[in-house]
């Protein structure tokens, strides 16, 4: 599904749950980086309300032993992609979400200033789902259409030694191949849609994807 980012930085079709954990980006600061994260709360459990509660400061510290240390964190991300591909938005892209923490990318610190944070519901044991890759690729395309995105990095890339997400289960090659195909332009995207009708083209597309 194609996604669209409005001028205020809201994604049409996303479920919006506002987080208070955000503020203004520095004046004139362009959005140039996407930071990919992974999260599960409680750790290793999927589908619960924990992530949403964390990002909206409603995590009950006694609901799970892990929450005792987590509940008072003031954190957020712009987006969460759940296991079934559902897209949740917590912070408009125009605002600064608090996801990267102490961080640096290509020698430039404070990544929150110039980045968009995308959380994938998952952990370091279980592969991410097809629905998550599809939604992430669609979201990336939509963000690239709105902002001068120059780079995509993992949280572990911008905070090495301190953070390990999205972790070894995140298939960067697969994600980049999906983006590469979509970047071939609107015409190519239309053709890709037609692959269902054209076995020859389907094969070619598959081979291309595999080769990456």
Just list the catalytic residues: 119
The two three-digit tokens of residue 44, written as one number: 């290793």
Rounded to whole angstroms, the Cα distance separating 156 from 202 reads 35
Of 151 and 191, which CB lies nearer to Zn ion in the complex structure? 151
- What is the size of the binding site for Zn ion (CB under 5 A)? 3
Of 9 and 167, which CB lies nearer to Zn ion in the complex structure? 167
Q: At closest approach, how far in Å is the CB of 101 from Zn ion? A: 8
Q: CB neighbours of 46 closer than 8 A, spacing ≥ 6?
A: 40, 82, 83, 121, 122
The two three-digit tokens of residue 1, written as one number: 């599904």
Q: At closest approach, how far in Å is the CB of 16 from Zn ion? A: 21
In sequence order, which ranges of the chain are alpha helices (DSSP H)? 50-55, 67-70, 130-146, 155-158, 172-183, 185-193, 199-211
6 CB-side CA count, 13 A: 9
Q: Does 96 bind Zn ion (CB under 5 A)?
A: no
Q: Does 78 bind Zn ion (CB under 5 A)?
A: no
Of 31 and 51, which CB lies nearer to Zn ion in the complex structure? 51
- Residue 152-171 contact track with Zn ion, rule CB under 5 A, x = bound: ---x---------x------
Q: Does 37 bind Zn ion (CB under 5 A)?
A: yes
Of 135 and 155, which CB lies nearer to Zn ion in the complex structure? 155
Q: Which residues bind Zn ion (CB under 5 A)?
A: 37, 155, 165
């Amino acid at each position: 599904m194609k996604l669209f980012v409005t001028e205020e930085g809201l994604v049409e079709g996303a479920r919006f749950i506002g987080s208070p954990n955000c503020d203004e980006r520095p004046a004139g600061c362009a959005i140039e980086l996407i930071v990919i994260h992974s999260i599960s709360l409680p750790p290793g459990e999927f589908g619960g309300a924990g992530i949403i509660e964390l990002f909206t400061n409603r995590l009950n510290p006694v609901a799970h032993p892990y929450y005792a240390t987590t509940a008072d964190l003031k954190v957020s991300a712009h987006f969460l992609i759940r296991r079934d591909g559902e897209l949740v938005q917590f912070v408009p892209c125009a605002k600064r979400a608090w996801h990267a923490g102490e961080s640096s990318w290509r020698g430039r610190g404070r990544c929150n200033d110039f980045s968009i944070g995308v959380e994938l519901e998952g952990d370091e044991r279980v592969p991410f789902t097809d629905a998550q890759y599809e939604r992430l690729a669609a979201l990336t395309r939509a963000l690239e259409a709105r902002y001068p995105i120059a780079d995509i990095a993992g949280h572990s890339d911008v905070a090495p030694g301190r953070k390990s997400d999205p972790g070894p289960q995140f298939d960067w090659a697969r994600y980049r191949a999906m983006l590469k195909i979509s970047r071939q332009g609107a015409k190519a995207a239309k053709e890709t849609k037609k692959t269902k009708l054209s076995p020859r083209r389907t094969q070619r597309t598959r081979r291309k994807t595999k080769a990456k």
